[in-house]
Amino acid sequence: MIQAELERFRVVRARTLALINGLTQAQMNHAPASGKWSVGEVVDHLLLAEKLFREQIEELIALRVSGREPALNRTFADIDISLAFAPKALLPFLELPMTVMNLFVPRALREVMMRYRIAPAERPDAAAPRRGRDAEALRAELSASLRKTESLLSAHSGLDYLAMIVRHPLLGKNNAPQLLGLMALHEERHQAQILDALADSCFPQPA
């Protein structure tokens, strides 16, 4: 199952790379409106988010290899992703009600919310994009980051990834393959954001 989710993520990453292939620095830096991310910022956010997910899987693997229970209980203090209507200052007070609510929210609904921009989300601080990053470096890092994720999983191919669990008040309970699935859904969500930026009437045209 982990290999199927990894292949799905590979396909999604290939599409991201295709979308930004050949974009100039000016095009990568262009923000369609005040408060909107540029393509470069979206890509940097994807890199940081993948790193965040990969580190959780890496920690689960380390727990399993050492003979401990491969389970992580993440709080909003660890990953402060939230819905846009919930100010981050209130997250500690929402932790318990959101955890209880997630017990009754079907996984399919959580996945739809991750994939589509139905409910505006507030990215975690650890995945805050940096402006003006070099376009070529971003493209190279997208490929390199995928290789890191692939290498991590291939180095531990014999493990039971279904038994590795992460719990989070908003993201719910996910095993390692499901975390990979969330990575793919998250990236697809932001591919739509890239397409919006490319379609902007003021998007810079190549000289």
Quick: pLDDT tens for 152-180: 999 999 999 999 999 999 899 999 999 99
What mean pLDDT comes out for the span 88-115?
81
Whether pLDDT at 9 is above 80: yes
Provide, rounded to the nearest whole percent, the portion of the chain with pLDDT above 90: 72
Average pLDDT over residues 38-61: 98
Own/partner contacts of 34-37, CB < 8 Å, gap of 24 or more, are: 36/197, 37/129, 37/193, 37/197
Calculate the CA dihedral of residues 146, 136, 39, 25 and round it to 10 degrees: 180
Region 31-46 average pLDDT = 94
Tell me the average pLDDT across 51-58. Answer: 97
The mean-pLDDT minimum among 62-76, 85-99, 162-176 falls in 85-99
Given this model, what pLDDT does residue 100 score?
Answer: 85
pLDDT (mean) for 145-151 = 98
Residue 52 CA neighbour count, 13 Å, CB half: 20
> How far is the CA of 19 from the CAs of 11, 30, 118, 138, 191, in angstroms?
13, 15, 23, 13, 8
Give yes or no for a contact between 79 and 153, defined as CB atoms under 8 angstroms apart.
no
Picking from 33-42, 102-111, 138-147, 182-191, which range would have the lowest pLDDT averaged per residue? 102-111
Residue 120's pLDDT band, with cuts at 50, 70 and 90, is confident
Contacts of 74 (CB under 8 A, 6+ apart): 56, 166, 167, 168, 171
Q: With 90 as the cut, is the pLDDT of residue 121 above it?
A: no
> Which residue has tokens 């209130």?
90
Q: What is the mean pLDDT of residues 31-51?
A: 95
Average pLDDT, the chain: 92
Q: What is the mean pLDDT of residues 70-76?
A: 95
Residue-by-residue DSSP string for 128-183: PPPTT--HHHHHHHHHHHHHHHHHHHHTTTTS-GGG-EEEETTTEEEEHHHHHHHH
Burial class (CB in 10 A: 0-12, 13-18, 19+), 120: exposed
- Note the pLDDT of residue 207: 67
The pLDDT of 49-71, averaged and rounded, is 97
Does 195 have pLDDT greater than 80? Answer: yes
